[in-house]
Amino acid sequence: MNSNFSCKTCASADQILETFISNLSVDTSHHRMEGQSVKCGFGLQGICCRLCSNGPCRITPDGPKGVCGATADTMVARNFLRAVSAGSGCYIHIIENTALMLKKTAASKGVLKGKLALAKLAEIFEINETEEHVCAEKIADMVLADLYKPDYIKMELVEKMAYKPRFDRWKELGILPGGAKSEVFAGVVKTSTNLNSDPVDMYLNCLKLGISTGLYGLTLTNLLNDVMLGEPSIRLAPVGLRVIDTDYINIMITGHQHSIFSYLQDRLIQDDVVEKAKAVGAKGFKLVGCTCVGQDLQLRGEHYKEVFNGHAGNNFTSEAILATGAIDAVLSEFNCTLPGIEPICDELKIKQICLDDVSKKANAEMKPFVFEEKESQSNEIIDAVIESYQARRGVVALNMDADHGNDDTLTGVSEGSLKSFLGGTWKPLIDLIVKGEIKGIAGVVGCSSLTAGGHDVLTVNLVKELIAKDILVLSAGCSSGGLENVGLMSPSAAALAGPKLRAVCESLGIPPVLNFGPCLAIGRLELVATELAEAIGVDLPQLPLVLSAPQWLEEQALADGAFGLALGLPLHLGLPPFVTGSPVAIQVFTQDMLNLTGGQLIIDDNAKSAAETLDAIIEKKRKELNI
Amino acid sequence: MKRIIIDREKCDGCLNCNIACISAHEAGSNFYTVNLQSPAAETRNFIKFDAHKGYLPIFCRHCDEPECVLSCMSGALEKDPLTGHVQYDESKCAACYMCVMNCPYGVLKPDKQTRTKVIKCDFCDDKPDGPSCVKACPKKAIAVKEVSL
Amino acid sequence: MKIVIIGVSAAGISAAKAIKASEPDTEVVIISKEDSVHSRCMLHKFLGHERDAKGINFIADDFFASKGITWLSNTTVISLDTQKKTVKTHDNQDISYDKLLIATGAAYFIPPIPGLRESKNVYGFRDLKDAQLLDSECDTAKNAVVIGAGLVGMDAAVAMLTRGLKVTVIEMTAAVMSLQLDQKSAQTYQQLFEEQGAKFILNDKVVSVDVDEVGRGKTIHLASGKAVPADVIVIAAGVRPAFNFTEGSGIATNHAILVGDDLKTNIDDIYAAGDVTGMAGIWPNAMKQGRIAAINMLGEKLLYEDRFALKNTVNFYGLTTLSLGNINPEPEESCEILMREDRHNYQKVVIKNGVVQGVIIQGNIAGTGFWQYLIKNKIDISGKNKDVFSLGYADFYDLDQVTGDYRYAV
């Protein structure tokens, strides 16, 4: 017997990672899959309800309704809307903090690195203000004002941000959102005991939450971050466990709020801080990317090369990253910060500091970010991390894997940088699509999960099938973390694409899978889609564009999915989101949605058949566009 | 003999039967209080899952010709002549685990905590209402029926 | 009908049970040289003072009385007359039979090593008598030497370690329990024993024993030249079927009593079951043989088919191991060997042409009973598209909806 924690770990599309994890002596999410492998059928179908003390009720042949009279359709809809509300809340929390950060940065005349982003937002928001700080503050105020509106007052920026045909359709459907925070509140209230029992009303409500999530939580968060932190720029970057350099004091970051790190990331490379590191035997500090905030740092990495070595992996790679023993501290400000890292950090003496209590770990030091105290807070964090480094390095064994990942992942792709790359216009891309050199575009986005075949298994397999059909893949989220670590976002991956797409990629020197960064960047994909649609003169459902969140994980993903459906796109999921117990849900999502928004839910956990379905949809849309 | 008859199409994997079994063997517990995190919490029935076949309930059959009884070297496992159920006397058992080795359906197991006894279904013969698992199934996928062997 | 059974261990008792369950009116006389019924698999519990003699009895106290079986204890059979159909006992009784079951088991063998057979303090570990003699020795002995690190030797060792003796185990092969385990799984047990103070000398043989003035073996000499002091010596070097009372009876033997598939000897009305047949010295198999012989003696025809004998469980110091089939295949056998281990488990599966040949599961053996079925029925698992280590009965699940019987879907 050896010291491995357990023989039974789940599969991963990332073979090197799978081997690494199977040999670990610590327990990880990959180990825990086995023990949780038999799932309760009631839960899977969404037909279990725990809203009141007459329950928990389950829909069974002997009990076709809950005690209150709720049918399966009601239960499923309530559970789903509640999940979408929570997911929306998560994203709205992010945009709220981001907007507050922008406001304070602007008010204190801080550096605003993204001039282009600022100008663009000013144009969209119709702000006529030349002084950049005043302009930025106005932008922030407008966002906050919308977020804080009550639910009976519609948010004003929706009309400015959304593509007009979409806005008009949403208005017709009566799903324009009121204040984003209030909408979350409303969703939670509506789904409580013996309140709303109209499934269709609840699903329309989900679409409404999808719109506020998408435009504010996703799109605007990116743009506001761009203003503060600089626009993304395309570059080749190293990814995977290999980015961790043991010569440095390494801080792993988890979350979605890049702006929280804006001061710290600059502070860490200042001379006096570097000297502190050298005094204890390290060359300096490095931030190690993990989860969406890591993707954000990677996206804007051109500006942060000194403090950021690279993105090591996605959410379900976080435990492995820590298990290398080379991480000295974890700074968490949002998800995914797995509870599972707590015992690992304890055992490996890794300091945990939580910057936003939404992601507090039981054994983390709580240090909620306060803008006005960012200097002293950063110094305290730095000192705490140095203490951790001293206490643990040399004492805790290292377990590195220099083979994992690669050195040439293309990153920094955004609606702006991609357009620049194409010469400042979308025409080259549109031409390629019209000619059929690129058959269509698939946004393969969202989370990483350990089901659907294993860690990133369905995601990777689906992407391989899609690119083989000459479909260009744009990715955003933890799925990107998985795709890049297995090399699909390296230019060499063009070899796996179909002949036409391969030719395009090789001539441009790009991979067939483009990394837009964090899941927030699903909002960037929406901007790209909107600009393409505008250029062609159609509405979004007419584009040869499909969306897939193959290994969606959490409630935020469901809110993202609601946005995708609201945009009228075909949305593929690998596994059903706990709705199959309701015939109405199936009907609404897979059929009626086409007439409502033009969107459609497709559920298929087989990469091959899912790709064929999506391919067929793209072909159909091409035909309808006469191309 | 009374046996638990399984209609596996009805099983939905909720694992209520597991909870009921554990609770039946944790004296004085009920569904609210049964400690599912205790290392002593062991279910005698199992629900497995196969992607093609669905949920597969595995319950002790109290076989007509029980391999476990036929392999027991201590007299701890005996088929009760009245009920037909295979009962286990922990005080006699020497934890040799030949019974574990011989059950063709993999029903028996050593206790997790100490490996000094065997965990096996006792048909809740000490309970007036019969097997706790049967009562707990929300889908009525399991039922007690008289079978002639 | 009158059935006489010689032997009160697994086969004999199992036969008596089966006879009385089927035809309770049959007269059954059972003869034993011992005065108590005991399970030899639990002798170490007796020697280690975990249980007393009654505690290692595997039948109810009133077994014979309640079933109406006549038990002649402390009685040794010395010969039998197949013409007259009688057995003769040491106290000159002639007991007649209509059918006879010989279930006299096996006796431990002391190899003809100079000094070994002569020493008065050399004991086997086969019967309660052996354990009782060892028990008294353990009261005063300091150094114990066990010759043979098979299952029996290790049982004796664990008991004597519990009694506080310094135990040295000498083994000819390179590992303990080398018939049941592979190197890796054997080493784990060796370590556990060593942690309790045992010493192992592997790859070595006893070449002679120095006998002292009072006839006790005091020093064991090994082929390597080592010398080991001994106050008490346990010989666990194998057993031979015990049937010398059949000499001259005409019953066909060849180092064991020969039987057909129905467990009948060459003489009609005489059957044999258990270790005395030389087939598979495993308790569950002896029980099955006893039962089948009994059913055949009552006039039915049942063949002994489930003979799979390469099966063992080991449980020392809380570490449980299941070992089945061919676990140490030769390279020429071209078997696929799959292994997996973590801090609590070591698992090895040997496969050839899609059929599992052998399995070692050390650590958690919960629910592993299905492996024996796969191996002995030569089930082809190559169609199962999953990790072999995650196989279970569920992968062969088949259910009779009416009776609730499980079957194997193959």
Task: Among C39, C318, C365, select the one facing B73 at the smallest CB separation.
Answer: C39
Nearest-angstrom CA–CA distance, C99 and C263: 13
Residue carrying the six token digits 């006792």: B122
The pLDDT assigned to A187 comes to 97
The beta strand positions in C37-119, using DSSP E, are 69-72, 77-81, 86-89, 94-96, 99-102, 106-108
- Whether C318-408 and C122-237 are alike in CATH topology: the answer is no
Instruction: Give the nearest chain B residue to C395 (CA atoms).
Output: B50
- Subunits with 3+ Cβ pairs within 8 Å of B are A, C
pLDDT in tens, C274-319: 999 999 788 999 999 999 999 999 999 999 998 888 999 999 999 9
pLDDT in tens, A461-504: 999 999 999 999 999 999 999 999 999 999 999 999 999 999 99
The pLDDT assigned to A480 comes to 96
**Do the chains contact at A38 and B15, CB–CB below 8 Å?**
yes
A61–chain B Cβ distance below 8 A for any pair:
yes
The pLDDT assigned to B36 comes to 87
B31–chain A Cβ distance below 8 A for any pair:
no
Nearest-angstrom CA–CA distance, A46 and A625: 39
pLDDT in tens, C235-251: 999 999 999 999 999 99
Partners of B87 in beta bridges: B78
Which among C303, C304, C135 is positioned nearest to C234, based on CA atoms? C135
The pLDDT assigned to A521 comes to 97
B47–chain A Cβ distance below 8 A for any pair:
yes
Residues of C in contact with B115 (CB under 8 A): 315, 318-320
Which among C280, C188, C171, C192 is positioned nearest to C235, based on CA atoms? C171
Nearest-angstrom CA–CA distance, C375 and C396: 13
Nearest-angstrom CA–CA distance, A310 and A248: 13
Q: Which of B53, B60, B100, B149 should one mutate to test binding to chain C, selecting the residue with the greatest count of C CBs within 10 A?
A: B100
- Quick one: B4 and B44 in the same domain? yes
Domains with residue ranges and CATH for chain A:
15-58 (no CATH), 72-229 (1.20.1270.30), 241-392 (3.40.50.2030), 412-624 (3.40.50.2030)
A63–chain B Cβ distance below 8 A for any pair:
yes
pLDDT in tens, C27-39: 999 999 999 999 9
- Quick one: B97 and B128 in the same domain? no
Q: Residue A459: pLDDT above 80?
A: yes
Partners of A352 in beta bridges: A330
Q: How confident is the model at residue C211 (pLDDT cuts 50, 70, 90)?
A: very high
- Quick one: B70 and B106 in the same domain? yes
The pLDDT assigned to C177 comes to 97
Burial A487-522 (b: 16+ CB within 10 A, else e): bbbbbebbebbbebbbebbeeeebbbbbbbbbbbbb
**Do the chains contact at C394 and B58, CB–CB below 8 Å?**
yes
Q: By percentage, how much of chain A surpasses pLDDT 70?
A: 100
User: Are the CB atoms for C269 and C100 separated by under 8 Å?
Assistant: yes
- Quick one: B46 and B3 in the same domain? yes
Q: How confident is the model at residue C15 (pLDDT cuts 50, 70, 90)?
A: very high
- Quick one: B66 and B102 in the same domain? yes
Q: Where are the domains of chain C?
A: 2-37+53-107+240-297, 122-237, 318-408
Q: Which of A60, A65, A578 should one mutate to test binding to chain B, selecting the residue with the greatest count of B CBs within 10 A?
A: A60
Q: What are phi and psi of B121, to 5 degrees?
A: -60, 135
Q: What are phi and psi of A351, to 5 degrees?
A: -70, 135
Q: Which CATH superfamily is domain C318-408 in?
A: FAD/NAD-linked reductase, C-terminal dimerisation domain (3.30.390.30)
Q: Residue A1: pLDDT above 90?
A: no
- Quick one: B116 and B127 in the same domain? no
Asked if omega into A56 is within 30° of 0 (cis), the reply is yes
The pLDDT assigned to C341 comes to 95
pLDDT in tens, C48-93: 999 999 999 999 999 999 999 999 999 999 999 999 999 999 999 9
Provide the 3-class DSSP secondary structure of residue A14.
coil
Q: Which of A34, A36, A39, A44 should one mutate to test binding to chain B, selecting the residue with the greatest count of B CBs within 10 A?
A: A39
How much is the pTM?
A: 0.89
User: Are the CB atoms for C408 and B143 separated by under 8 Å?
Assistant: no
- Quick one: B38 and B73 in the same domain? no
The pLDDT assigned to A61 comes to 81
A362 CB neighbour count, 10 Å cutoff:
9
On average, the pLDDT of chain A sits at 96
Asked if omega into A336 is within 30° of 0 (cis), the reply is yes
Q: Residue B149: pLDDT above 80?
A: no
Average pLDDT over residues B73-84: 95
Q: Within the 288-327 window of chain C, which residues sit less than 8 Å (CB to CB) from chain B? A: 288, 291, 311-313, 315, 318-320, 322, 324
Q: Residue B33: pLDDT above 90?
A: no
- Quick one: B68 and B84 in the same domain? yes
The pLDDT assigned to A559 comes to 98
Q: Residue C112: pLDDT above 80?
A: yes
Which H or E run contains A297?
Answer: helix A291-299
Taking CA atoms, C44 is separated from A149, C54, C137, C178, C198, in Å, by: 79, 14, 14, 20, 16
pLDDT in tens, C373-394: 999 999 999 999 889 999 999 9
**Do the chains contact at A38 and B48, CB–CB below 8 Å?**
yes
C267 CB neighbour count, 10 Å cutoff:
17
Instruction: Give the nearest chain B residue to C59 (CA atoms).
Output: B75
Q: What angle do CA B2, B8, B12 make, to 5 degrees?
A: 120
* Exposed/middle/buried for residue B82 (C-beta within 10 Å: 0-12, 13-18, 19+): exposed
Nearest-angstrom CA–CA distance, C4 and A627: 95
Q: Which of C190, C319, C320, C342 should one mutate to test binding to chain A, selecting the residue with the greatest count of A CBs within 10 A?
A: C342
pLDDT in tens, A507-548: 999 999 999 999 999 999 999 999 999 999 999 999 999 999
Tokens standing for C390? 């995650």
The pLDDT assigned to A539 comes to 96
**Do the chains contact at A1 and C340, CB–CB below 8 Å?**
no
Q: Closest approach of chain A CAs to the CA of B33, in angstroms? A: 16
The pLDDT assigned to C219 comes to 96
- Quick one: B9 and B34 in the same domain? yes
- ipTM of the complex model: 0.96
C383–chain B Cβ distance below 8 A for any pair:
no
The pLDDT assigned to C254 comes to 94
Q: Within the 16-45 window of chain B, which residues sit less than 8 Å (CB to CB) from chain C? A: none
Which among A436, A384, A340 is positioned nearest to A31, based on CA atoms? A340
B15–chain A Cβ distance below 8 A for any pair:
yes
A374-392 vs A271-279: helix axis angle to the nearest 10? 20
Residues of B in contact with C58 (CB under 8 A): 72-75, 92
Q: Residue C122: pLDDT above 90?
A: yes
Report the DSSP pairing between strands A285-290 and A57-58: unpaired
Cβ-based contacts under 8 A for chains A and B: 33
Q: Which residues of A touch C (CB under 8 A)?
A: 1-8, 25
pLDDT in tens, A185-197: 999 999 999 999 9
Q: How confident is the model at residue B32 (pLDDT cuts 50, 70, 90)?
A: confident
Architecture in CATH of C2-37+53-107+240-297: 3-Layer(bba) Sandwich (3.50)
A436–chain B Cβ distance below 8 A for any pair:
no
Q: Which of A3, A4, A7, A8 should one mutate to test binding to chain C, selecting the residue with the greatest count of C CBs within 10 A?
A: A7
On average, the pLDDT of chain C sits at 95
Instruction: Give the nearest chain B residue to C54 (CA atoms).
Output: B92
Residues in chain B: 149
Task: Among B7, B56, B110, select the one facing C366 at the smallest CB separation.
Answer: B110
The pLDDT assigned to C42 comes to 94
C222: Cβ–Cβ under 8 A, 6 or more apart, which residues?
A: C170, C201, C204, C205, C206, C207, C228
Task: Among B48, B55, B140, select the one facing A62 at the smallest CB separation.
Answer: B140
- Quick one: B114 and B66 in the same domain? yes
The beta strand positions in B35-128, using DSSP E, are 46-50, 54-58, 77-79, 86-88, 109-110, 118-119
Residue type, C143: N
In chain B, how many domains are there?
2
- Quick one: B109 and B132 in the same domain? no
Provide the 3-class DSSP secondary structure of residue A570.
strand
Which among A502, A447, A524 is positioned nearest to A479, based on CA atoms? A447
The pLDDT assigned to A7 comes to 85
Class of domain C122-237: alpha beta
Q: Closest approach of chain A CAs to the CA of C187, in angstroms? A: 10
Average pLDDT over residues C109-138: 95
Using the 8-state DSSP alphabet, how is residue B35 labeled?
-
**Do the chains contact at C406 and B98, CB–CB below 8 Å?**
no
Residues of A in contact with C390 (CB under 8 A): 8
- Quick one: B85 and B138 in the same domain? no
Task: Among A1, A8, A25, select the one facing C188 at the smallest CB separation.
Answer: A1
Q: Residue A390: pLDDT above 80?
A: yes
Nearest-angstrom CA–CA distance, A379 and A375: 6
User: Are the CB atoms for A80 and A589 separated by under 8 Å?
Assistant: no
Q: How confident is the model at residue A302 (pLDDT cuts 50, 70, 90)?
A: confident
User: Are the CB atoms for C283 and C313 separated by under 8 Å?
Assistant: no
User: Are the CB atoms for A313 and A334 separated by under 8 Å?
Assistant: no
The pLDDT assigned to B43 comes to 95
User: Are the CB atoms for A335 and A314 separated by under 8 Å?
Assistant: no
The beta strand positions in A173-259, using DSSP E, are 235-239, 249-254
**Do the chains contact at B49 and A60, CB–CB below 8 Å?**
no
A578–chain B Cβ distance below 8 A for any pair:
no
Q: What are phi and psi of A229, to 5 degrees?
A: -110, -5
Q: Which of B62, B96, B107 should one mutate to test binding to chain C, selecting the residue with the greatest count of C CBs within 10 A?
A: B96
Range of the domain at B16: 1-59+122-149
Q: What is the CATH number of the domain that holds B83?
A: 3.30.70.20
